[in-house]
Copies of this chain bind each other. A is one copy, B any other.
Amino acid sequence: MSIRVTIWHEYRHEKKNPKVAEVYPKGMHEAIASHFRKCKDMEVFTALLDDPDNGLSDEVLKKTDVLTWWGHGAHNEVSDLTVERVYKRVHEGMGLIVLHSGHHAKIFRKLMGTSCDLKWRADGEREILWITRPGHPITEGIADHIILEKEEMYGEFFDVPEPLETIFISSFEGGEVFRSGVTYQRGLGSIFYFRPGHETFPTYYNPQILRVLENAVRWAIPRMPSSPIKSNHTPAGWLNAELQKPVEEKK
């Protein structure tokens, strides 16, 4: 069965800034989507901020195993209802991959419980992403580091909770560092934040960056039925009742 990936994109910068349109003539989402379409185990969808329901209706989300998220200038135009729907689906097990300036997306801040603030400078500096977790599914096929010749700088302190796993750490020409690949779990859902991808640089054509994204999608798939374990009142005697069930009824 295929992994159903939905690539969510703000899709505004391409329309306003000719420099961005030049780098991503069909939009950043299509750069990522066209790579994923080559993966035989993936079924690829795109969803845009200006679509009805911000492109993320309950129907779309129900059919999404893993959602990628790129936003920047229009975080506040994502409706609170959309944020609630995505939040609920992540807790039910949908994977979420937050890209670059998505660190300030409402949904990421809500899931983290922090401001997700950071230092930044968009001067087009050399970034090196160093692997700090070789052997992790997300770094499969990446040897030791990734060099991006021009990227925006993001610097620590990155105001997120201590990550479950810190997978990449970047250095920038200007001397800053950043935890560029970090994992979290919320409810049944797996979350991966991946730093690179400023809109004026061709980062999402880099084969190593695409490989990391591809790995992350496979890592983030839902692992349980989509009905979360309900918390509830558990009457005394549940254990005896369960022990006395005939064997065939036991799970």
The interface of chain A, by Cβ under 8 A from chain B, is: 91, 93, 110-115, 117-121, 123, 126, 128, 130-137, 139-141, 143-144, 147, 149, 153, 155-159, 161-162, 164-166, 169-172, 174-177, 179, 184-190, 207-208, 222-224, 228-236, 238-239, 242-243, 251
13 pairs from A and B in contact (CB 8 Å cutoff)? A111-B113, A115-B187, A121-B235, A128-B239, A130-B156, A132-B157, A134-B224, A134-B229, A135-B189, A147-B242, A162-B164, A171-B171, A171-B172
Given A120-B233, A121-B236, the answer on whether A156 and B131 have CB atoms closer than 8 Å is yes
- Closest residue on chain B to residue A130 by CB atoms: B156
Query: Which of B128, B157, B185, B239 is close to A229, meaning CB atoms less than 8 Å apart?
Result: B157
Q: Is the CB of A147 within 8 A of B229?
A: no
Q: Which residues of B contact A131 (CB under 8 A)?
A: 156-157, 229
Identify which of B135, B171, B175, B228 contacts A188 (C-beta below 8 A): B135
A113 to B161, CA, bound (A): 11
- Verify A166–B166 contact, CB threshold 8 A: yes
- Chain B residues near A229: list those with CB within 8 A: 131, 134, 143-144, 157
Rounded to whole angstroms, the CA-CA distance of A179 and B91 in the bound complex is 20
Question: 5 closest Cβ contacts across the A-B interface?
Answer: A135-B188, A117-B231, A111-B113, A130-B156, A113-B113
Beyond A119-B231, A135-B188, A177-B169, is A144–B157 a contact (Cβ under 8 Å)?
Answer: yes
A187 touches which one: B128, B132, B135 (CB < 8 A)? B135
CA–CA, A222 to B187, complex, Å? 27
Contact partners of A117 in chain B: CB under 8 A: 230-231
A106 to chain B, nearest CB (A): 12
Given the interface pairs A147-B242, A223-B137, the reply to whether A234 lies near B155 with Cβ below 8 Å is yes
Chain B residue, CB-CB nearest to A87: B113
A223: B residues at CB distance < 8 A: 135-137, 139-140
The interface residues of chain B lying within 8 Å CB-to-CB of A174 are 234, 236, 238-239
Alpha-carbon separation in the docked complex, A175 to B240 (Å): 10
